[in-house]
Amino acid sequence: MALYSLQSNFLSRREVLAQNEVTEADLATYMSGWLRLQVHSMLRRR
């Protein structure tokens, strides 16, 4: 959820991390999988 919140640019990065109770390390762990899902989703819309 934090990665989607960061994508929206509605809240600051610090606020997003605090609200989702995650760390930068947590984001790094899931970032590659999340990016793959985003690319896959974009390609399906074509």
Please state the rounded mean pLDDT for residues 5-9. 89
The pTM assigned to this predicted structure is: 0.70
- Give the pLDDT score at 16: 94
pLDDT, residue 1, reads 83
The per-residue pLDDT for range 8-45, each reduced to its tens digit, is: 888 999 999 999 999 999 999 999 999 999 999 999 98
- How many domains does one find in the chain? 1
* Structure tokens belonging to residue 39: 């690319």
Residue 46 has pLDDT above 90, yes or no: no
Residue 19 belongs to domain spanning: 2-44
Give the residue, 26 or 1, on which the prediction is more confident: 26
